[in-house]
A and B are shown apart, each in its own frame.
Chain A
Amino acid sequence: MSTASPSILTKIQDFLASLRLTMALLLILAIVSIIGTVIPQGQLAPEYLAAIGGEQGNRYKLYSMLGFFNMYYSWWFVGLLSLLSLNLTACSIKRLPGVWRVAFKPDGLLTDSVERSATVCHKLPAAEALSLKEIAVRLRSTWGTASDIEHEGTRHLFVQRRPWNRLAAYVVHASIILIFAGAIIGNLFGFKGFVNIPEGGSAGTYLDKKGGEKPLGFTITCDQFTVTYYDAPGGGQSQMPKEFKSILTLTENGREVPGYKHARVIVNEPLTYRGITFYQSSYGSSGSHTFKAGDPKGGKEVTLTLDSQSSATLPDGSRIRVLESVQDVSPFMQGLHGPAARIDLTPGEGHQHLTVVAFANHPELNRQQAKENGGMVIDYLGGEERPYTGLQVNKDPGVWVVWIGCILMCLALYVAFFMPHQRIWVRQDKDGIVIAGHTTRGQETFRTTMEELLVTIRVNPGKEEQQS
């Protein structure tokens, strides 16, 4: 047992740090991610049942068990992402010490194995090459000071550029972990919610994702909400919205917050205060309307006021709901004037529901309608509709960690791909000079660089002839 367990541990470690696991995870993640793009995410159960069907909803049960309706947060998808993070970390821990040695603790010796793995290697007979000391001088101008090492009777020069390129791949890996960390921080310490504020109204709370009411810690007032439209090609305004704009004022402890009086929020220009950001998200209108309902044969009359979104019950048991209202009906109905409301009327059991128009200035028409449908006389006493603004409310303290991760990733990718680590070794032995070069990327360009370098360290043949 005692001899077997470490080997299993080593095997697990090797597996976790293996590139094969990386490849497998990346391709599996690519494939399974497709599921959630085909099955709409985060809908309600009845909608899924209707769309999927299957024998007694068996398919629904299976999909639901596998978390397909919220799959990017399901245990197995999060598990795959965690395994990828573990793989990245294990890989980095395993390889980093060796890579660090290659980059920052090079022995600077041009050994046979270095020669074999070099991008370019040239040999010059002693007579054709400058002395090692001269070569070091030539190298200094473009490559910097070379280390000069004597090892077992042979002298080696070594010089390198951008050794930190070797770390770039690990910075990319770390940046992925950082982005995950930022997402987790946001989930733990942030929130997402929503608030509707009518024009002229205020709110000190928002609705969280589960519909619970939470305090903001300050009050937000909607001074104005407007929608503007693009001009139509033939003049006038088109149906295409150009801008949704809320003018907001923030107050805290009964005082206006400096700099937040009549602040503008439009789509793509949110407003942030105390780490909470408000985004222009939707709009609509809401208001209240008052009606008087009476028996057509006279007698008791009731007055009732209802919100534009809700319905109310009349004394005879029928229900009414406001569909729309106008302050002046004349443009829509010739010969009539004054306020009017179109209402949805649902009489008691067994009757069909119908649409009637209640007028403020034409009680005779209201009475006539009541006669036709056998219900109560409904008079409109007036009301008002106010636009409201719908704001997305967000707090995400992890977002900066995510952005730092993103910036690091971009920089590191650039360094990894376009700023190669380049090394040059020169060795002097009894036959002459051996010069080898290695680059991590861009071999073509590097070969040219090495050719040019070779010219500068070669003894000028023409000059030699003149001398002889």
Chain B
Amino acid sequence: MISPTLFNVTTIFYMASTLAFFAYLAGRNKNIGLGGVALAWAGFAIHTVATGLRWKESYDIGMGHAPLSNLYESVVFFAWSIVLIFGLIDAKYKYRVIGAFVMPFALLAMAWGQLYLPTDINPLMPALQSNWLLYHVLTCFLGYAAFAVACGVSIMYLIKAKSEERGTDAAGGIVSQFPPTKVLDELNYKAIMIGFPLLTLGIITGAAWANYAWGTYWSWDPKETWSLIVWFIYAAFLHARFTKGWVGKRAAWISIVGFAATIFCYLGVNLLLSGLHSYGGI
């Protein structure tokens, strides 16, 4: 079993990347920013290998299934998705500073999983033995990750907008490093443009699977309902940009509230409410 060690190494890389981005935020040294991205990608590569190994190891002990079946595995996959979406957006738009607001989410997820959650590989109960598990979890978590990136960008937007209002933006502080509000607004929208179709697919694959397993595509189970709540919020976000009075700060707030609802949908429902999606180990 090498994968547990590799997951620890991944966590260390994400921590180093986060610290590098913080340093970049403070010192504006381009090489440090590049270092942050390089560390994130390196961590991502190790993370991918570790996930593949865990998958293989589950077959070795006779339980063979994709590592997406309990809370620990999902939280680790969430971190992987966040780094992937961040990496892609960084590669396309090259606003390094965003890393300081997005990598902490990945680090937090990884650290929580590695330090506090049971990491055992468990056999798959009959209801989860389906190919839909892979499609459903994959689409949902990539969507969640895009929303995490959008949330990070929205927080930057609110900080930047406040500093612009105060007129302190030109003073050369950390905030002056941020991309202009117009760019942040655009990035927020782009991240949600990636996340929303993925969430839609996630809900649909979940419905298709439920129909296949139980004969009901929608039963207003708390998890289903919360995913729909998240969907409503981001649908509102997408319409906000064409609606007077809903552009700018308000849109940024919708994005932040949307991510809070996403996290509740992912964790709150399982830890606080009862329903069909029970994760083992907690």
Interface residues of A (CB under 8 A from B): 19-20, 22-23, 26-27, 29-30, 33-34, 36-38, 40-41, 72, 183, 192, 230-231, 238, 240-244, 266-268, 270, 277, 279-281, 392, 394, 396, 399, 402-403, 406, 409-410, 413-414, 417-418, 441, 444
Contacts and interface: CB of A to CB of B under 8 A. Distances in A.
B261 A30 contact: yes
A413 B126 contact: no
A192 B229 contact: no
Nearest to B258: A30
B28 interface: no
Nearest to B234: A26
B19 interface: no
Contact of B233 (A27, A183, A418): A27
23 contacts: A19-B243, A22-B236, A23-B236, A26-B233, A26-B239, A36-B225, A72-B220, A192-B215, A241-B125, A244-B126, A270-B215, A277-B215, A279-B213, A279-B214, A394-B215, A396-B215, A399-B217, A402-B207, A409-B200, A410-B201, A413-B197, A413-B200, A441-B193
A268 B126 contact: yes
Contacts of B123: 230, 238, 240, 242
- Which 5 pairs show the lowest CB-CB distances between chains A and B? A394-B215, A30-B232, A37-B222, A26-B236, A267-B126
Contacts of B215: 192, 270, 277, 279, 392, 394, 396
A20 B243 contact: yes
A30 B229 contact: yes
Contacts, number: 112
B174 interface: no
Contact of A268 (B62, B129, B197, B200): B129
A268 B229 contact: no
Contacts of B126: 241-244, 266-268, 280
A420 to B, nearest CB: 11
- Majority SS of interface residues in chain B? helix
B273 A30 contact: no
Contacts of A30: 229, 232-233, 236, 261
Interface string B195-231: 0110011001001100111111110101001101100
Contact of B130 (A26, A230, A268): A268
Interface in B232-256: 232-233, 235-236, 239-240, 242-244, 246
Contacts of B240: 23
B274 interface: yes
Contacts of A183: 218
A238 B61 CA distance: 14
Contact of B204 (A270, A394, A410, A417): A410
A34 B240 CA distance: 22
A444 B93 CA distance: 9
Interface in B261-275: 261, 269, 273-274
Contact of B229 (A33, A40, A281): A33
Given A23-B243, A409-B200, A37 B212 contact: no
Interface of B: 62-63, 93, 122-123, 125-127, 129-130, 132, 193, 196-197, 200-201, 204, 207-208, 211-218, 220, 222, 225-226, 228-229, 232-233, 235-236, 239-240, 242-244, 246, 261, 269, 273-274
A229 to B, nearest CB: 9
Given A37-B269, A72-B220, A413-B200, A230 B63 contact: yes
Given A241-B125, A266-B126, A417 B197 contact: yes
B101 to A, nearest CB: 21
A199 to B, nearest CB: 19
A76 to B, nearest CB: 15
Contacts of B228: 33
Given A26-B239, A270-B215, A399-B211, A240 B197 contact: no
A240 B125 CA distance: 7
Nearest to B265: A37
* Residue of B93, B222, B228 contacting most chain A CB atoms (<10 Å): B222
A221 to B, nearest CB: 20
B214 A281 contact: yes
Contacts of B274: 40
B205 to A, nearest CB: 9
Nearest to A20: B243
A230 B122 CA distance: 10
Contact of B225 (A26, A33, A396): A33
A217 to B, nearest CB: 18
Nearest to B273: A37
A280 B126 CA distance: 10
A267 B129 CA distance: 8
B74 to A, nearest CB: 19
Nearest to A71: B220
Contacts of A19: 239, 242-243
Given A20-B243, A242-B123, A413-B200, A27 B213 contact: no
Contacts of A280: 126
